[in-house]
Amino acid sequence: MENRKRHEALNWASSFLKEKKREPEAGELLLRHVLGDLSRTELLMGLNDPMTVAEQASFEAAVKKHGEGVPVQYIMGHEEFYGRRFTVNREVLIPRPETEELVYEVLKRAKSRFGDQKEVQTVDVGTGSGAIAITLALENPSLSVSTVDIAEESIAVAKENSRRLGAGVRFLHGDLLQPWIANSEKADIVVSNPPYIPDWEIEGLETVVKDQEPMRALSGGADGYVFYRRFMEELPLVLKPKAIVAFEVGHDQGQTVAEMLRVTFPGADVEIVRDISQKERMVIAEIGFSKY
């Protein structure tokens, strides 16, 4: 194998990935990873450096894997979320930037509504990698964070992330809010990014999503609302009189989920929040607070 310079390897990767209808920028991420997690600046400063045979082989294998549809994050084994690195694998959904905005909204409202409270009982439902729960716990120590997931495999990944990042999070195995209902526990905040993609839409997703990420984290049932409907049954059993509910939703689901919350909690202040791309991606209900 002829020793390539880094810029030559990048050019090859870019052409190869374009041919496979993948984002050519993925080549740079994979090269930085293979070369020992270089920063972008470090990579750019050394573009004329030759690669070793081992580096070349690893890089080409990684690029080909991505060409076959394996997400870059699963190849690298991690994804950045709220400035921290989270381990990810095929047992968990890859954290998305829009979910960072959900976390930001919860932190902002927790401070505004529960600022003086020493312990704010917070539940993240469907934890996956633990990105939401761990970030909330680390960003605001007054949040006492528990998290629930139906899959032991996902909990194992989240626990490892929690241990490595030093977050005090309690992990519960169960279906939606059932563990809290069974324990007769009450929550100040419930946050969730549940599966919300309608089954008919899943077939149209890119292979890097539908064939790689766990289906249990994607499928929201026939119409995409199956978990939101279940939440409406379970939330009244676990919320304190004053509480916040924060959901991530599909870009066209905001109005429907907001109406569900208004019907379930008459008098609640329910808001649809747009993400940075101006899509309606969050629905947040503040229940039992004065509006003045």
Is 127 part of any known ligand binding site? yes
CA 84 – CA 167 distance, rounded (Å): 12
- Annotated ligand binding at 266? The verdict is no
Contact between residue 227 and residue 195 where contact means Cβ atoms under 8 Å apart: yes
- Contact at 8 Å (CB) between 243 and 189? yes
Q: Is 74 annotated as a binding residue?
A: no
How far apart CA 171 and CA 146 sit, in angstroms, is 6
* 3-state secondary structure labels for all residues of 62-116: HHHHHHCCCCHHHHHCEEEECCEEEECCCCCCCCCHHHHHHHHHHHHHHHHHHCC
What is the chain's Cα-based Rg? 21
- Beta pairing, strands 78-81 & 84-87: antiparallel
Residue 87 marked in a binding site: no
Asked if residue 36 belongs to a known ligand binding site, the reply is no
Looking at residue 217, what DSSP letter applies?
Answer: G
d(CA 66, CA 285): 40
Q: Is 256 annotated as a binding residue?
A: no
Task: Please check if 196 is assigned to a binding site.
Answer: yes
Tokens representing 139 are 């960003």
Token representation of residue 21: 């209808």
User: Does 175 count as an annotated binding residue?
Assistant: no
Query: What is each CA distance from 265 to 80, 94, 161, 236, 241, in whole angstroms?
Result: 35, 32, 35, 8, 11
Closest CA to 90 of 108, 77, 102: 77
Q: How wide is the angle at C-alpha 192 spanned by C-alphas 257 and 165, nearest 5°?
A: 160
Residue positions forming the annotated binding site for S-adenosyl-L-methionine: 126-130, 149, 193
- Positions at the binding site: 126-130, 149, 193-196
Binding site residue list for substrate: 193-196
